[in-house]
Chains A and B, each alone.
Chain A
Amino acid sequence: MKIYDLIIIGAGPAGITASVYAARKRMDFLVITGNIGGQAAWSGDIENYTGYQFVTGQELVRKFEEHMRSYDTNVKEGEGVIEVERIGELISVKTNKEKEYQAKTVIIASGKRSKELGVPGENEYKNKGVTYCATCDGPLFSGKTVAVIGGGNSALDAALQLARIARKVYVINNAPKFGGDTIMRQKVEKTVNVEILNDSSVLAISGDKFVNSITIKSGKEEKKLFIEGVFVEIGLIPNSDFVKAVEKNNLGEIKINNRNETNVPGLFAAGDVTDVPEKQIVIAAGEGSKACLSAFRYLAQH
């Protein structure tokens, strides 16, 4: 089997930046990723990425991808990693395409994904009324009654977007009060077709072919809301399940030191999948660069 210098898992801001550095260091490497751009592709307007006073997530990702591809980088797109483990001096990466790759170093830059509710009906009605992207699927619910689940900024943002499209928006928040920015909260509270249900949680999602209702527990009372769309906005979890050998914090984020090293030799991590304190595109990009330079140094020493 071919042995690569480096395998980069993920092609969001961290993975793509690592790939640019790897290409410029003339490393023999491979990028394996489910998609290009990761969460950055879903971001609306970005106003804090240096050099761009304003750019959309799509546009920034297009620029990132162009930069990555300008080096003839080998990118396995649409391939999901299912296992990473160190075997002897090498690291093995297995994917859902029944392939195995080996490398001397690996950078995990697999980011985060939307957290699921974990209630009956959620899986069954995925894309049949249950969605995790208000920006994408919102327009399909014009004139309908929908529910946003969550109480943070992303839930508030989804509620505001949907209020312009839908007939009525319920916001189901399991805390007694809203989190998120005060300005956004006040905006939502002032919107006439939004009804906020605090101290409430979803028990089940039901329907026939598509969603037609949810059962919620509001305070002590159980009730049914007749809605056609469920927008789940309860936060993110790291894509770190496929690697068992590394230390993680209680959120499942991979623990790294300031050189992006994990506790496993040759295995590095970067960006939102790690316990790096802030989750920002510009930080993920910087972390990707650091991780690649650390991997390069590791190769020189081993």
Chain B
Amino acid sequence: MAKNVKVYSTPTCPWCIRTKQFLKDNNIAFEDYDVGSDHAKADEMVAKSGQMGVPVVDIEGEIIVGFDKERIKASLGL
């Protein structure tokens, strides 16, 4: 069963683009929230991660801040 993956990002941040590219390259489906335009999702991201840096990846409730490839891989079993 595929894990539920959410990415909170802004369109202009290089690490966000790399994070999403990495997920795509590994055929991981994810929900993509632009926290620059969606204020409710921005608040949700801040509440979940306790900080304001992007990207934030939520993998079934596990919160990963930044493009932490090793943690993303471990969490998804890649």
Contacts and interface: CB of A to CB of B under 8 A. Distances in A.
Interface in A103-149: 127-129, 131, 133, 135-140, 142
B13 A135 contact: yes
A222 interface: no
A137 B52 contact: yes
Contacts of A37: 14
B73 to A, nearest CB: 11
A58 B52 contact: no
B48 interface: no
Nearest to B66: A127
Q: Interface size bucket, B side?
A: 20 to 34
User: Which secondary structure dominates where chain A touches chain B?
Assistant: mixed
B12 A127 contact: no
Contacts of A139: 10-12, 34-37
A201 to B, nearest CB: 24
Nearest to B10: A139
A131 B13 contact: no
Interface in B1-30: 10-18
A140 B69 contact: no
Nearest to B17: A58
A137 B69 contact: no
Contact of A77 (B34, B50, B65, B69): B69
Interface in A29-56: 36-37, 41-42, 44
Most buried by B among A127, A133, A139, A142: A139
Contacts of B53: 127, 131, 136-137
Contacts of B51: 127-128
Given A135-B13, A136-B14, A138-B12, 18 more contacts: A37-B14, A44-B12, A58-B14, A58-B17, A61-B14, A78-B69, A127-B65, A128-B51, A136-B12, A137-B10, A137-B52, A137-B53, A138-B36, A139-B37, A140-B36, A140-B42, A140-B52, A209-B50
10 contacts: A57-B14, A58-B14, A78-B68, A129-B52, A136-B53, A137-B10, A137-B13, A138-B12, A140-B10, A140-B35
